[in-house]
Amino acid sequence: MKVLVTRRLPETVMGRLEKANEITELRVNPHDRTLTRDELEEGTAWCDILLSQLVDPVDAALMDCNSELKLIANYAVGYNNIDVPAATERGIPVTNTPGVLDDSTADLTWVLLMAVARRIVEADRYMRGGEYEGWAPTLLMGTDVHHKTLGIVGLGRIGFALAQRARGFDMRILYSDLELKPYAEEVGAEYVDMYTLLRQSDFVSLHPFYDKKSHHLIDTRELREMKRSAFLINVSRGPVVNEKALVKALKAGEIAGAALDVYEREPAMEPELAKMDNVVIVPHIASASLETRTAMGNIAVDNVLARCRGDALTTCLNPEAVG
Ligand code: DGY
């Protein structure tokens, strides 16, 4: 089978692909950038298996470049870049990489939460800028995290892993979700509706599945429901938050700050965010540890090789598509 890898993956993962007998030809994006639409279409028309990234829009038109496409293996747990129903209609299985990035993503969420609360990025800039003239009682005072209320919007695997971390900080934990999660009891998380969560939380962390229903889940009205002293953290998908509304809320002091890993129109972001000291911004790196990105790659490769051999796929999103 001919396999297209739309962006180079960690070395051991590439090694597996390069050595696999099941793969007759391997084409890897030679550039240090995302493929253009034309390149993606040309590559899709060429390959049997597409190993895609979350930034590749795998829509019906792309699938129609190749009526023989055998698999779309997405290198991400999120798959909002893929039109899965269109793939199912065309008999193309789609796989993702669940389960292996929950802890790394929760770790990074925690880093962002702590960083924005305790003004770590500002403090680092301050030191590097040579501004430190000695200890002072009110220098760079932040906000405590321990014993505060954490609101988790979406208590899936990542939200749960975040709650586990919050317990070590003696936090009260609230969550909202489409349904009650029985495992919430294990971490002492209390189910409330989203508006109660927004009103009561000191930190609101977003972990919903992104689809049409969660588009702009956090907008002007929701930001106004939050405490003026509260912080918003988003590591899910950018469009869960109306970014322009967030900028307005921050400027108006309606919330105390924000920490973001994802943006509404990545790689762009609202430029004002970069000018605000109470905002911590990182470039979609929640799962970016060598171990986790390798584990994600291994799942994608397992699926690629299974498809080559005609074996069952380990993480198929649309099993009904497999003929
Ligand atoms: C995902 O997998 O969906 C993350 O956004 C990147 O790891």
Q: Mean pLDDT, to the nearest integer, of 46-66? A: 98
How many angstroms is it from 40 CA to the middle of ligand 1? 20
Is 101 touching ligand 1 by the criterion CB < 6 Å? Answer: yes
Contact 143, 118 (CB under 8 A): yes
| Ligand 1 atom closest to residue 293's alpha carbon, by position in its atom list | 7
What tens digit of pLDDT does each residue of 275-317 get?
A: 999 999 999 999 999 999 999 999 999 999 999 999 999 999 9
In 3D space, the residue among 121, 145, 82, 108 whose CA is nearest the CA of residue 236 turns out to be 108
Is 76 touching ligand 1 by the criterion CB < 6 Å? Answer: yes
Domains and CATH numbers, the chain: 2-100+289-321 (3.40.50.720), 102-281 (3.40.50.720)
How many angstroms is it from 127 CA to the middle of ligand 1? 33
Tell me the best of 260, 287, 291, 296 to mutate to test the pocket of ligand 1, counting ligand atoms within 8 Å of each CB and taking the most: 287
Give the pLDDT of residue 323.
Answer: 64
> 219 — phi, psi (to 5°)?
-130, -170
Which residues does residue 73 pair with via DSSP β-bridges, in sequence order? 51, 95
| Ligand 1 atom closest to residue 78's alpha carbon, by position in its atom list | 3
Instruction: Please tell me the residue having the least CA distance from ligand 1 atom 3.
Output: 78
Q: Mean pLDDT, to the nearest integer, of 32-56? A: 98
How many angstroms is it from 290 CA to the middle of ligand 1? 14
Q: Mean pLDDT, to the nearest integer, of 160-183? A: 98
Residue numbers annotated as active site? 237, 266, 284
Q: What ranges make up the beta strands (E) of 117-234? A: 149-153, 172-176, 189-191, 203-206, 231-234
| Rounded Cα distance, 273 and 282, in Å | 11
Instruction: Please tell me the residue having the least CA distance from ligand 1 atom 2.
Output: 76
Tell me the best of 51, 54, 296, 315 to mutate to test the pocket of ligand 1, counting ligand atoms within 8 Å of each CB and taking the most: 54
Contact 168, 144 (CB under 8 A): no
Q: Is the pLDDT of residue 252 over 80?
A: yes
How many angstroms is it from 77 CA to the middle of ligand 1? 5
| Rounded Cα distance, 284 and 264, in Å | 11
Label residue 63 exposed, middle or buried (CB < 10 Å: 0-12, 13-18, 19+): buried
For the record, the structure tokens of 212 come out as 């049409």
Give the pLDDT of residue 322.
Answer: 86
What tens digit of pLDDT does each residue of 67-91 get?
A: 999 999 999 999 999 999 999 999 9
Is 156 touching ligand 1 by the criterion CB < 6 Å? Answer: no
Q: Mean pLDDT, to the nearest integer, of 259-287? A: 98
How many angstroms is it from 304 CA to the middle of ligand 1? 19
> 8 — phi, psi (to 5°)?
-55, 135
Q: Could you tell me the pLDDT band of residue 186, with boundaries at 50, 70 and 90? A: very high
| Ligand 1 atom closest to residue 235's alpha carbon, by position in its atom list | 5
